[in-house]
Amino acid sequence: MGLKYIEQVKSVVLVLLILLSFSLTFAIWTYSPVIQPNEGTTVDISIAEKKKMEDIIKPYRMVVSQEDGLKGSFASQPIEFVFDNMKNWEIQTVDLASNKLTTDQVNEFITKPNRASFFFAADVPVEVLATSLNFTDQIFPEAYFNRLIIDWNEDNPDNMIMYFISTSQQKMYTASAKKVNKLGFVDRILKHADKMQVYNEIIIENKLSLYASSVPENIQSYTYSIKDIEIEKFKDALFNNPSLVRSNPVSLNEQQFTDDSALMKVNFNSKTLNYVHPASENDNPGKSVDLIQNSLNFVNEHNGWTDDYRYFRMNTNDRHINYQLYFADLPVFSKDILTEVSQRWGVDRVYKYIRPLYTLTGAVPFKTREVQLASGQSVYDFLSTATDINTSGIDDIVIAYYLSRDETEPHFNLEPSWYYLESGSWIRISPELLGGTKYGLE
C-alpha cells in the first residue's frame, strides 16, 4: 500500500509540474513590458506652430508693368491675391525655353507691359510649387526660378503664360495656365497696382536692372520687449531622451546640453541656439527639393516656426538652407542678434540647427513711430556718388528692419532702413548718411 500511495503522489506532482510549465511558457510568450514615455523616445513638444510650403516660400517684391510704367510693392496682400488665384489654375507642362538667357532679356521680360513679376531671394525648384498649385504634369524637369512672371498679353481669355526664370543659371522655363478667369484676375491686379508705389527701373550696363520706389516711403518703427522661448522646450524636442540630458554652464551667457549623441549650446546674450548631431555628418551634395521639404518637416515636428521665417538661401553642396526672419513683410537684419533659422542636413536627419531663441509673435510694442525713408531712387543716387561704393557690384536694394538693443533699457528696436546687396551680403545704409530721418508722431 505504501508503494502504491507514493506512485500516486508522484503522478499528481508530475501533472502539476507540467501545468506550471505550460503556464510559465504562456506568460513568457504573452508578456509585454510597460515602457515609460521618456525611455528612448522623443517627447512630443509644441513650441509655436507648423507652416505649409506656401508660408515659407514667398516673393519679397512684386512689380507690375503697364503701358504707363512700373508699380511695385513688398506688401503681402497683392502677392497673396495672385498666388491664391493661381491655386485654381491648371498649369500645363513646364518646358525649357532658353538655357542662355542674357541680363538684357531678363530686364525686357520684366518691363514688358501687362506682366506681373515676383522676386524671390534664392532659386526655388519649380517642383516644390506642386505642394500648393495644380500642375497637370507631375513629372518636372530640374528647373529653378528666382523670378516668376505672369503674362496676360495672350488673346485667349482662358489662358495665362507663366515664365520661370533663374537669373543665376540664366535659364527660363515656360508653362501655360488654363481655367483662368483672366478678366477678373487682371482687373483685380490693376486695382492692387493703383495702390502701389511708382517704381523706377535703374539700368546698369551688363547687369540686371534694379527696381526702386521713386518717392519717399513711410514705414513704422517699433520698440519691443522681446519674448524669450523656453530652453527646456527645445531640449525636450531635439534630444531623443530628455531625461538623460546633462546641463552645464559654460559662462554667464552660455549653457550647453549634452547626451551621448548630440550637443546643444545656448547663448543668452545673442539669443541663439546651436544644436549639432555629429554622427549624422554628410559631405555629399544634397537634392534641393528634398532639402527644402526635409527642413520644413523638421521644424514642423516641434512646431518651431516662432515667427514669419522665409526661405532665403540654399547651398546643396554642403546641404545648407537658411530661413530669414520677416516682420511686417520686410526682412529683419542685425549685427549682434541672430535673425535667421539655419539648417545643415546630414544622413537622414539634421546635422546642425542654429536658430534664434526669441519671438516677436505675441509681443506687444510699447512704442511706435512713423519713419519717412528716402526713395529707392534717391538711395541709389546717393550710392552712385559715394567714393567707396562700386554701384556695378550692387545686385539689389530693399527696405528692411534693423534689429538692435536699446542702449539704456532692456528693449529691442526695429528700425526701418535701406540695405543693398553686394556679393551675397546685405549692407545697411546708415540713416545719417542719407541726411537723417523724419519722424512722425509717437
DSSP 316-372: TTTTEEEEEEEETTEEEE-SSS--EEEEEE-SSSEEEEEEESEE-TT---SEEEEEE
The predicted model scores a pTM of 0.86
C-alpha cell recorded at residue 150: 505672369
pLDDT digits (tens, 9 = 90+) for 191-237: 999 999 999 999 998 999 999 999 999 999 999 888 899 999 999 99
| Angle subtended at Cα 335 by Cα 334 and Cα 338, rounded to the nearest 5 degrees | 60
Phi-psi region of 140 (alpha: psi -120 to 50; beta: other; left: phi over 0): beta
pLDDT at position 224: 87
Q: Which residues face 323 on adjacent strands?
A: 311, 341
Please determine, looking at this structure, whether the domain spanning 218-228+282-375+384-442 carries the CATH number 3.30.2010: no
pLDDT at position 158: 81
Q: Which residues face 421 on adjacent strands?
A: 396, 426
Cβ-based neighbour number of residue 286 at 10 Å: 20
Please state the domain extents for the chain.
Answer: 53-197, 218-228+282-375+384-442
- pLDDT by residue for the chain (442 residues), tens only, comes to 454 455 554 565 454 555 555 554 444 344 433 333 333 344 457 899 999 999 999 999 999 999 999 999 999 999 999 999 999 999 999 999 999 999 999 999 999 999 999 999 999 999 999 999 999 999 999 999 999 999 999 877 788 999 999 999 999 999 999 999 999 999 999 999 999 999 999 999 899 999 999 999 999 999 988 889 999 999 999 998 999 999 999 998 999 999 999 999 999 988 999 999 999 999 899 999 999 999 999 999 999 999 999 999 999 999 999 999 999 999 999 998 999 999 999 998 999 999 999 998 877 888 899 999 999 999 999 999 887 788 889 999 999 999 998 777 778 999 999 999 999 999 999 877 776 444 332 2
pLDDT at position 29: 43
Nearest to 49 by CA among 311, 362, 327: 362
pLDDT at position 390: 86
